[in-house]
């Protein structure tokens, strides 16, 4: 366990020395690693086993916001599994701390974590994935989420600061949007949720503009202009 920094103005945050870190980006291959977890030692890509994965960091064990987030993810694990997603958490706490916290969460909240937690005491994973943001905290990871597809490509990244818990509905919305756009060669508009109309990619030639006008006459299509067409799936 470690004492997390609570705000940007804490001395630890302002005196942070820059640390070597990589910041993987959307479209990059997800860095592979070997790590100790609450489910035993594993190699990340091997563990993923060709499924989608959500790799998320939490700042520290035995902290209130993290307790709400990790138990909510546990309660909704079946919703991720139904989407072919595996969850894996990481913090820089020790395996002993993780094991004690997992037991404590079951005791106080009645929730068992079905997914592994990585004990990243040497900050290897945190550095590989750019989860240390020294301006926010010199000592612990921020709340990061990496959405990784079955080919091992990073498809979306979300970061939250220490004092804001994540919205799991939004995390699942991103999962649905990624899988829907992959399956249907489309895009998702603002506030899209599963079942809503999707965006048909804009035409790239006059020929396609003409074809798009015809397409828009089909049932389930809504055309506001040649570049803005929505359709039901």
- What stretches of the chain adopt beta strand conformation (E)? 34-37, 40-43, 52-57, 85-91, 117-119, 143-148, 154-160, 198-200, 221-225, 228-231
Nearest approach in angstroms of CB 60 to ligand BEZ is 5
- Residue 166 Cβ vs ligand BEZ, minimum distance, rounded to whole Å: 11
Nearer to ligand BEZ, 2 or 36 (CB): 2
63 binds ligand BEZ (CB under 6 A): yes
Q: Which two tokens stand for residue 37?
A: 């977890």
Contact window for ligand BEZ (CB under 6 A) among 55-63, 84-92, 144-152, 175-183:
55-63
DSSP state letters, 130-188:
T---TTT-SSS--EEEEEE-TTSBEEEEEEE-TTS---HHHHHHHHHHHHHHHHHT-B-
Restricting to residues 5-24, name those near ligand BEZ by CB under 6 A: 6
Specify burial of residue 99 (Cβ count, 10 A radius: 0-12, 13-18, 19+).
middle
Count the residues of the shown chain that bind ligand BEZ, applying the rule CB under 6 A.
Answer: 10
Shortest distance (Å) from residue 163 CB to ligand BEZ: 6
Residue carrying structure tokens 């086993």 = 49
Smaller CB separation from ligand BEZ, 26 or 164: 164
Backbone angles phi, psi at 149, to 5 degrees: -85, 175
Instruction: Kindly tell me which residue out of 13, 16, 65, 154 binds ligand BEZ, with binding defined by CB under 6 A.
Output: 65
If one asks whether residue 126 binds ligand BEZ (CB under 6 A), the answer comes out as: no
91 is an interface residue for ligand BEZ by CB under 6 A: no
In sequence order, which residues have a C-beta less than 8 Å from that of residue 196 and are 6 or more positions away? Answer: 188, 189
In this structure, are strands 40-43 and 85-91 parallel, antiparallel, or unpaired? Answer: unpaired
2 among known catalytic residues: no
Contact 43, 32 (CB under 8 A): yes
When binding is defined by CB under 6 A, the residue of 16, 162, 188, 200 that contacts ligand BEZ is 162
User: Min. distance of Cβ 3 from ligand BEZ in angstroms?
Assistant: 9
Which CB sits closer to ligand BEZ, 131 or 162?
A: 162
- Residues making contact with ligand BEZ (CB under 6 A): 4, 6, 59-60, 63-66, 162-163
């Amino acid at each position: 366990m470690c004492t997390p920094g609570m705000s940007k103005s804490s001395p630890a945050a302002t005196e942070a020395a820059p640390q070597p870190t990589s910041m993987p980006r959307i479209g990059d291959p997800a860095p592979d690693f070997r790590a100790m977890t609450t489910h035993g030692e594993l190699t990340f890509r091997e563990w993923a086993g060709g499924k989608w994965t959500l790799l998320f960091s939490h700042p520290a064990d035995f902290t209130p916001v993290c307790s709400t987030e990790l138990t909510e993810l546990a309660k909704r694990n079946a919703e991720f599994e139904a989407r072919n997603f595996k969850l894996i958490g990481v913090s820089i706490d020790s395996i002993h701390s993780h094991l004690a916290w997992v037991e404590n969460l079951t005791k106080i909240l009645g929730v068992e974590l079905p997914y592994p937690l990585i004990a990243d005491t040497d900050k290897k994973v945190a550095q590989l994935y750019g989860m240390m943001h020294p301006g926010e905290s010199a000592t612990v990871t921020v709340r990061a989420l990496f959405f990784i597809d079955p080919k091992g490509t990073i498809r979306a990244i979300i970061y939250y600061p220490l004092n804001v818990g994540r919205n799991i509905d939004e995390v699942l919305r991103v999962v649905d949007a990624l899988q829907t756009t992959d399956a249907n060669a489309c895009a998702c508009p603002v506030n899209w949720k599963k079942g809503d109309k999707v965006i048909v990619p804009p035409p790239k030639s006059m020929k396609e503009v003409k074809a798009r006008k015809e397409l828009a006459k089909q049932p389930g299509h809504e055309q506001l202009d040649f570049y803005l067409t929505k359709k039901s799936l």
